[in-house]
Amino acid sequence: MKVAVIGTGYVGLTTAVSLAVKGHQVLGIDVVKHKIDRLMQGQSPIYEPGLDQVLKQVLEQENIFFTTRLHEAKEAQVIFVCVGTPEAANGEADLTYLHAALQEIEELHSQAPVERVVVIKSTVPVGTGDHAASRLCHCADLHVVSNPEFLREGCALEDALQPSRIVVGADSQKAMNIMKEMYKGISAPWVETTRANAELIKYASNAFLATRISFMNELARLSSEIGTDVSTISQGMGLDSRIGPQFLRAGVGYGGSCFPKDTIALLNLAKRHGVNLSILEKVREVNATQPLWFLEQLHKQMPDLYGKRIALLGLAFKPDTDDIREAPSLTILDALQRSGALIVAYDPVASNHVKELFPDAEYTSTPEAVFQGAHAALLVTEWKECVELDWAKIMEMMEVPLLFDGRNAWPARALEEAGFFYKGVGRS
């Protein structure tokens, strides 16, 4: 099928490439010209494992092209909208980019009125799809579908090709059939519903995952007081098939481009309808304080951080991505700088993004180098190279061997036996 994808960020680019892999003719569109130039050369503007290689392959097969102009997509039967929906100043989702994309689609359709489906893949508040459908209702043969995305950065391509589920909200069988045809080569449980249900499934899923994380982070705080081990607690809980092991790891709090903005958007949506989602309020509160709670553990050992050299390992909001949106590392960096600490940080791919926000910190090109002369080291993102380290060498490099493991990923017992002071998140 001929498919256009508006927005070539984490979601749009992955969607475009995976559909091209499945043999569709895909046109990726973005307003940022240098992204398009890079993409046409087979270089992904975002870091996503495996994406560059598959991108080059589909470009060679001529299954994918990129442009800044939607009107080159006159023949597109399906147009995906994958633009950002960031948090607006009032906490609601900012739909400016979405409305701009819909406007362009309206113009395209008036020039080339073929039967087509507009698929809203961006995460949008309940009612947005219905609103878009009424806005575009004068466009004959144009269907609006809600098809939220559930991919995880770091394994986005894999998730797009083998999704946990495909949720499609539509109000016509014709649109549903076109969507089925488009996803024919991808096998996954299929949820057929209304646009509003599809939109809420997305927000509810993210809110629930965020809830699990904050729940474990509070249990970690309790564990820390009573001498239990939250890693073991989560292992024991996760073996219950009614609970499952995912998203039960305590840490420095969730971040990223989705959970923070989607939880606040859902709260605001509920508020507008007179409903108080009190559990979710608490989830956000725990998350906002979790990086600070983590830093308190450092302060307990080192009350005065002024002039102290503090090593940070990992800056991206999670491993295998360069995304630093709402990353806990930013809160930690900010608080440490305010305390007068000298920060030396390492991340395999995200340092350049963080450097723009914190130019005064020092950034190293290897994980080991951060330990040189450090008075304490903090694991913030559990990249493999930040976890698998030569601890004997590090013991020699550190000024003071204090380790704070924000992801419970370092080998606690071995480190203590080797003479380090080790403090995890709720780990005995």
Closest alpha carbon to 395 in 370, 376, 420: 420
Amino acid code (one letter) for 71: H
Amino acid code (one letter) for 74: K
Binding mask 24-53 for ligand NAD (x = CB under 6 A): -----xxxx--x------------------
Please give the size of the binding site for ligand NAD, defined by CB under 6 A.
Answer: 26
Q: Is 331 annotated as a binding residue?
A: no
Regarding 119 and contact with ligand NAD (CB under 6 A), the answer is: no
By beta-carbon proximity to ligand NAD, the closer residue of 33 and 184 is 33
* Other residues' Cβ atoms within 10 Å of the Cβ of residue 400: 15
258 is catalytic: yes
Compute the least distance from the CB of residue 259 to ligand NAD, in Å.
10
- Residue holding tokens 């001498």? 227
From 79-87, 211-219, 240-248, 380-388, span contacting ligand NAD (CB under 6 A): 79-87
Binding mask 139-158 for ligand NAD (x = CB under 6 A): ----------x-x-x-----
CB-count burial class (<10 Å; 0-12, 13-18, 19+) for 131:
middle
Alpha helices per DSSP H over 80-148 = 96-111, 128-135
From 10-18, 163-171, 233-241, 351-359, span contacting ligand NAD (CB under 6 A): 10-18
Phi and psi, residue 377, nearest 5°: -130, 140
In our burial notation (b when 16+ CB lie closer than 10 A, e otherwise), range 325-341 reads bbbbbbbbbebbbebeb
From 95-103, 191-199, 298-306, 354-362, span contacting ligand NAD (CB under 6 A): 95-103
Compute the least distance from the CB of residue 258 to ligand NAD, in Å.
5
Compute the least distance from the CB of residue 368 to ligand NAD, in Å.
30
66 Cβ contact list (under 8 Å, min separation 6): 8, 27, 28, 29, 30, 36, 39, 40
Residues that bind ligand NAD (CB under 6 A): 6-12, 29-32, 35, 82-85, 97, 100-101, 122-123, 149, 151, 153, 257-258
Q: Which residues are annotated as a binding site?
A: 30, 35, 85, 123, 150-153, 202, 247-251, 255, 261, 318, 325
Looking at the annotation, which residues are catalytic?
258
